[in-house]
Structure formats: C-alpha cells, structure tokens
Chain A
C-alpha cells in the first residue's frame, strides 16, 4: 500500500504533468470510468482554476493575447512555477518574468511590463493601510535637518518604468473603453506610480525625477541623496512640489529623523 505522501506526490505528477506511471501507481478504483479519465477531471479543475485566477489578476494580458494563448501560457507557467501558498490569491507574482522569456510571446515585447503593472494594481488593493503623513510634524523640522530625513512610502506604492506606453495600453483595454484603441508603441516610455489613496488604487504617470526620488526613498535613501538623484535625471526637478504632491496623494506616509548618535555635525 502506498503511503499518504507517495499517493499525494503521485497525484501531483499525474494531474499536473500527465505522468502515466504516476496514474497507474495510484490504485484508483475504475468503477465505470477509467483512472485516466478521473485524473483528467482533476487536471482540468486544477489548471482551469489557475487560468481563472490569473485571468482575474491579469485581465489586460488576457485581453491582449486572447484566451487560447493565455490558457496555454498559464498552463506552462503553472507547471514551472509551483504555487507555495494555500491562499491562491497570492499566486502569480512572477508571471511577468515568465512572460518576458516565454518564446511564443517574444514579439509582444511590451507584454511583461503590462503584467508588472497589473500585479502592482492587484497588490495595491490588498496592501496594509497607512495613516497619512503628519504634515505639522514635518513642518516643524528645522530646515537644515531636512536633508537627513528618511521617508516611508505607502505599502501599496509601486514604481514602474517601461520603455513602452503601458499605461495607454492598459487604458484602451479596460472594459467599456470607447476611444481609439490603437496604440503607437513608439509614443514613448512610461514612468508610473501605482498607489492607493482615499479613492482606491490610482495609477499616475510621473516624471523621471519623481520616479527617481521615490525609488530612492523607497530604498531608504535620505531626502538629500534622493533629491540629488532626481536632479541628476531631471534638471527641472522641483523637490518642494514633488514632496507636496506625494504627501497629498498618500504615497509618502511617514518620515523619521536620524537618531542623535548617528547624526553628523552635532556638537
């Protein structure tokens, strides 16, 4: 008699990978329906469930490639990228990376970046809540101490840079979109901010300087370092405007001063 572990390992091989020897090892009661057919029911249920889950997370990718392509890609993704959570809602974060190297999608060079945007939207919906930044506390910081502050972005905030106009691709593929659906891939790169404010998840096109400063702050740089990185990529970058805007839209939600022992220049 198979151990429970052997049975469950064999069941995975039989359903996901169509392993005929594994089906035979399972000692399934035929009872009017052969074991291959019974296993195929589970294969269809399991793969069909992942197709539904990923189509819900990546509706624009699904729309762009069509159902047969999406289903074939998803089945291959599932076989190579095991789900590691009992909560299937957490599955599929590496779908964009998979699509980037999926040979049938080679011509659709923008597809992986569209998937990254859709994952960011999905995650922004379920990220932790955060209170707005305490503006009066920030106003009370001495001007010469501002450069050493570090800032925290909202847990929902995600920055995306793509050489393709992925926001326009996303917009024209929304249900009910009625404008001109054509997109000129040559219309340029996108730098995007996905975050969640008072009205739900928002996607905003931001400048290269804003993208640079928010990326640096997210990586724990001080305001001074982050601002100089923004100025490097955008000489017109306006620090005060950017900070005001991203506090107001709930992207920057907290700040902290260095602890006294690590501050330099203190007597």
Chain B
C-alpha cells in the first residue's frame, strides 16, 4: 500500500491522456504529476489502471475542476463521494479545487465561473470548503481563477476574498500566477498587490500556464508557453515566499511532451536560483 508523500518542492506537469503512455514508458525526471480528478471518476478501465501505475513512480496531485465551491446550490454529494473514493485509491500528496462556481439550479456549465467578492459568497465558499475538508479528512487547496468580468457588488478585492477563505477554513492556497497576471491586466490592478496580500505559509502549490492575448482581454486558455511577464511575476513570487512546488499546465492544443519538459526546466531554473540565494 503506497504511503502518502509530500509534494517535493520542485516542478511537475499536468499530465493529460495523450502523454500518459510516454510518461509511463520513459519516466521523465519530474518531481511530481498533477491530473484532473474528474478524469478518473470512473469505475475501472485502462485510464485508471494507468494512473495506478504512474502513482507507483511519482507523487500525484489531484486537481478538481467540478466541485463548484461557490454555488448557491448545495454541494453535489455524489461528486464529493467520487472524489473521496479517488483520494482513497490514489492517496495523493495534494487535493485541490477552484475558487469559482459552476452550477445553478442543478444545471452545470462545466466552466470555472467568477464569484462576486461579497460576504454572502465568502460564507458560501467557506462552508463548502469545510464540507469537503471534513469529508476527505484532510485540508484541500483552493486556486484563484482567471476572470473576464467582475461585479459591481464586490465588497472586497479578489486577494482579500482569497485570503479570507484561507484564513477562515484553514485550507491551503494553490497560487496560480498566470491567473493573477490575467486578472491584473483584465481588471487593471498591480499583480504585486495580490502577491503582497497572500500568506506564504498558505501557498502549497503554484500554477504556471500560458494565456491567449489575441482578443479584447487576456484569456487563460492553457494553450501556450508561459508568457514573459508571468515568468517575471513567478520570479517575484518565489523571491518573496521561497521555493514552492510548481506546475506547468497545458490543456488547449497540447504540444509534445518535450515542450512541457522544457517549460518545466525553465521553472526549475528559477526555483534553483532562489535556492542558491538562500544557501
């Protein structure tokens, strides 16, 4: 029976199905791998068997996209039960979800949708995070999302909302540097204000990804290399908080495994440069 490892303070990649066979065969030098939890909400079959095999070689982080922590609807008990079953099977190093909502009146939009930063939404999210942490009997990470609009009813800044969720529930933060940058551009704030507002102790993982700048605002499409200003913000984040487990995410127009490994090497350089300064 595998023991639950800590996530090493190094770089991982988001593992998507087209790369599974090569990762199993070649076991590239990566500290850990992250998968979307829902892709393994299955009863059996080859994908789950492959995850079991990969789990023997790498620490795994389970990253959920469908829990909808911010819905006014009640939490989906069946979804939570499936996550709990998967966590029991994989014994992941980390379990994460998004600070967003996805369903209303029982209809799921299967997207990461923006919350109003109000006291009501904050209370709803905190209650759901408590429920998930209680069901899984472990802390989860919550991830800040990209947004293409914000609401006039906001009573606080996004970083105040994020910090309050962490403070009230004891959950950890999955700090998505690309999402901070995308929102800073889209909503006109200084991304360093966001960095300054979060607690380094709460950050258990960092995400890096590419965005699409071809439209009227930045879209977090996970479909390109990490952009230069996001690397800069990542460097500033690591300088402030020290090295953190860092993930390269890519979902749209998935490139070859080599491209992901190359992006991972760039992140590793930044982590190791900080280690050298600290030593």
Contact = CB atoms under 8 A, between A and B. Distances in A.
Contact of A16 (B109, B152, B153): B109
A91 B41 CA distance: 13
A29 B149 contact: yes
A33 interface: yes
Contacts of B116: 4, 7
A9 B187 CA distance: 24
Contacts of A45: 111, 219
Interface residues of B, number: 50
A156 B44 CA distance: 10
A221 B120 CA distance: 55
B149 A28 contact: yes
A37 B72 contact: no
Nearest to B44: A129
B154 to A, nearest CB: 8
Contacts of B39: 89
Contacts of A124: 45
B43 to A, nearest CB: 4
A16 B65 CA distance: 20
A86 B72 contact: no
Contacts of A240: none
Contact of A4 (B44, B68, B120, B148): B120
A12 B43 contact: no
Contact of B113 (A33, A38, A42): A42
A85 B217 contact: no
B151 A29 contact: yes
Contacts of B187: 29, 31
A88 B110 contact: yes
Interface stretch (B96-104, B198-206, B232-240): B96-104
Contact of B45 (A16, A41, A126): A126
A31 B151 CA distance: 11
Contacts of A86: 38, 65-68, 76, 79, 102-103, 108, 110
A127 to B, nearest CB: 6
A89 B118 CA distance: 32
A129 B48 CA distance: 10
A140 interface: no
B101 A8 contact: yes
A238 interface: no
B254 to A, nearest CB: 12
Contacts of B141: none
Interface string B206-229: 000000000111010000000000
B53 interface: no
Interface in B55-85: 65-68, 70-73, 76, 79, 82
A250 to B, nearest CB: 13
Given A89-B39, A125-B46, A84 B72 contact: no
B107 A42 contact: no
B149 A84 contact: no
B23 interface: no
B120 A29 contact: no
A127 B103 contact: no
A82 to B, nearest CB: 4
Interface in A109-132: 124-130
A98 interface: no
Nearest to B123: A4
A130 B66 CA distance: 28
Interface in B23-52: 38-39, 41-47
Tell which of B43, B66, B109 has the most Cβ of chain A within 10 Å.
B109
Contacts of B215: 41
A55 interface: no
Contacts of A29: 149-152, 187
A235 interface: no
A75 to B, nearest CB: 13
A83 interface: yes
Contact of B153 (A12, A27, A155): A27
Contacts of B142: none
A33 B217 contact: yes
Interface string A13-25: 0011000000000
A200 interface: yes
A12 B107 contact: yes
A35 B107 contact: no
A49 interface: yes
Which residue among B76, B108, B113 has the maximum number of chain A CB atoms within 10 Å of its CB? B108
A147 interface: no
B261 interface: no
Contact of A28 (B109, B120, B150, B216): B150
22 contacts: A1-B118, A1-B153, A4-B72, A5-B104, A7-B116, A8-B104, A8-B113, A27-B153, A41-B148, A46-B111, A86-B65, A86-B68, A86-B103, A87-B82, A88-B108, A89-B39, A125-B45, A125-B47, A126-B44, A126-B47, A129-B44, A130-B44
Given A4-B118, A84-B107, A86-B68, 7 more contacts: A2-B153, A31-B150, A42-B113, A82-B106, A85-B66, A86-B76, A88-B66
